[in-house]
Amino acid sequence: MIEEQRKIFFKKGWLKLNTFVDKNFSSLLNDLEANKIRGKFQLVSKYPGTFDIRPSAYEYSDLFLKWLLFNNIPETINQVTGKKLFLKHVQFRISHKTKNNYLNWHRDTHFYNGMPEHGNIPPVYKLIFYPRSKDTHIEKCLSISDSSNIQFSFNNKVDLIKALLLRSRHSHASTGDTIFFDTFTMHKPVRPNKNKKQMRIIYSFSEVAEPNSKFLESLQTDFIKMFYES
């Protein structure tokens, strides 16, 4: 099974994973969806129509990390990539129904038009879980351009046009899905349509364990203890 997952991930740049939510995490997500935020934390807008937990989801509850352990995510993604990955960031985001998507097609890391590189080197991997509550309709949450991780143009306009035109290569993650992808792959979030809002939990993983702040040092220490030293 892992061998087949590796092939899919390399060829397409993404892989869907089967994940589950226990009652404690489900209760936490229901509260967050209802804007029931504890203590010093708050939902702060990052992009138009989106709100993230601040200061951080990791500090808000250890259930965000325990969900990874419960679903055996670290071992799976290490086997799929053939690398030892480190947790770099955890974001809880609510995306509200708006006129436009809050981001267009993009790569998190790119080298366009002779300009300096943008984004993390090497590119990070992301795992995004789109929780579905009992009142949530199933609808698209993310579009991704298959195989764009191995097809790159140094011209940003050409890169964007290819992603727009090659619709037959578009894949999607929907409400209830968990998707793991290489952020060098072209992708874009899809705004809610049937639902007034969508929840998404975004985990970023890096090949490099080099925390550049006290917060990241704490996050990675907990991650390493939980998954590599347990």
Question: Tell me: the pLDDT tens digits for 177-222?
Answer: 999 999 999 999 998 988 889 999 999 999 877 655 555 667 767 7
Question: Residue 82 gets which letter from DSSP?
Answer: T
pLDDT given at position 212: 57
**pLDDT over 90 (residue 146):** yes
Please state, in angstroms and rounded to a whole number, the distance separating the CA atoms of residues 12 and 171: 9
Beta carbons of 85 and 78 less than 8 angstroms apart: yes
Which of 177, 148, 175 lies closest to 162 in space, CA to CA? 148
Within 13 Å and on the Cβ side, how many CA atoms surround 155?
4
pLDDT for 215 equals 59
Q: Give the span between the Cα atoms of 91 and 98, in whole angstroms.
A: 20
* Residue the block writes with tokens 């947790």: 87
What pTM was estimated for this model as a whole? 0.92
Structural contact between residues 65 and 226, judged by C-beta atoms closer than 8 angstroms: yes
CA dihedral 16, 129, 89, 120 (to 10 degrees): 40
Q: Which two tokens stand for residue 60?
A: 């808000």
Give the CATH superfamily of 2-227.
q2cbj1_9rhob like domain (2.60.120.620)
Sheet strand arrangement including 42-45? 14-17, 178-182, 125-129, 197-206, 86-96, 50-54, 42-45
Write out the two tokens for 153. 């143009």
Residue 171 has pLDDT above 90, yes or no: yes
